[in-house]
Structure 1
């Protein structure tokens, strides 16, 4: 091994130890490998939001999405809040070190029932998505009690109504309280959406505790 090759190998090993998520994103050679790597970053962002939920009680959707975008940001992911993509999508995520470049669009909603959720799906797929992006994101901020039951009912509703040309039944997502759906899109392909729920419920007296 040459000196340059040895130095490159040492650099890769250092990145693997210090920032494994970045390395996995950078080296993903397929959409499925990219989604696997991205889910690790996504899970940490969701957990960060949930751990700080008491501090975010006064934030609206835009404020919560700002906090979520900050938690999601790592080297290699360029995240822009409310840029223009056939309208002002909530999150525009670019894995700019990948070849080819991979783009994700995300719409974020405070949970207000199935109809409001479906409206977010319509915005994401019908207005913002061109079909060139990877799996879309619908981020759900749940401030109501019993997130497990709410997500179960939401998933059952979508599987019964098949909103926005949903193809078949939803499937499990690797993250808790989350699921995947596939939809026929105007581009002629089937596009996936990850419905990612964040548990932001706070007991009424918890906000008064020191």
Structure 2
């Protein structure tokens, strides 16, 4: 009896099991672009899980929320860590084969100036500028309403900053991707800006 299964067979069997699909994809990803795709898919999935249970996520600190996301990422098969020493204490670091390193800074929304502080940490403290280490992210936790509007405000504020040159290279329904020159290495460093909308104010009483 034929028992050999291809990756395509396994993916087809995974059907709607997104965590399983992510695990399978990470096992076979070779190109940096493939690794990045599955990392971002994993982050999106963990954000979705947190937002679905936002009733129970109110009033938490940045670290409490970020540790939960890291735990979920590890459950998806990623070598993820919190507070790893990489030029400072990086909120989220993910390492994959081939020297691949992805770093994210996570902040509770307290206005654009607070987010920019974390963004500068990511770009000027944690990012190495080495090969396969030219992508990262900023995660913003919103308890305020209308996360899209607040993310748009953050994008406008980021573009106005002159200390770090910024180019928007991709927009999403909520969030965007920006490109910057890494001052140490002189290479482009790409940042995905994720919104985590945790606003909770039921009006059915």
Which category of TM-score, normalised to the shorter sequence, fits these structures?
A: 0.7 to 0.9
- Confirm or deny: 8 A CA contact 1:48 1:71 kept in the other structure: no
What pairs up with 1:88-167 in 2 under 5 angstroms?
A: 88-95=89-96, 98=97, 100-132=98-130, 133-161=133-161, 164-166=164-166
How far apart are 1:72 and its partner, in Å? 2.3
Alpha-carbon shift at residue 204 of structure 1 (Å): 7.1
Unaligned runs of 5+ in 2: 15-19
Is residue 42–residue 76 contact of structure 2 (8 Å, CA) maintained in 1?
A: no
Give the drift of 1:75.
Answer: 4.6
Contact in 2 for aligned 1:89/1:105 (Cα 8 Å): yes
Do the aligned residues in 2 keep the contact of 1:141 with 1:198 (CA within 8 Å)? yes
Partners of 1:60 and 1:160 in 2: CA distance: 28
- Superposed counterparts of 1:1-210, under 5 Å: 9-10=4-5, 12=7, 15-16=10-11, 17-18=13-14, 19-95=20-96, 98=97, 100-132=98-130, 133-161=133-161, 164-166=164-166, 168-173=167-172, 176-185=173-182, 186-203=184-201
Alignment length, in residue pairs? Answer: 196
* SS at 1:141 equivalent: strand
Query: 1: distance between equivalents of 2:89 and 2:158?
Result: 25
Q: Gaps spanning 5+ residues in structure 1: where?
A: none
Contact 1:44 1:72 survives alignment (8 Å)? no
Contact kept, 8 Å, 2:112 with 2:154, in 1: the verdict is yes
Using a 3 Å threshold, how does the CA distance of structure 1 residues 31 and 162 change in structure 2: closer, same or farther? farther
Go from structure 1 to structure 2 and tell me whether the alpha carbon gap of 1:159 and 1:177 turns closer, same or farther (over 3 Å shift).
same
TM-score (norm 1): 0.83
- Quote the RMSD (CA, aligned, Å): 2.4
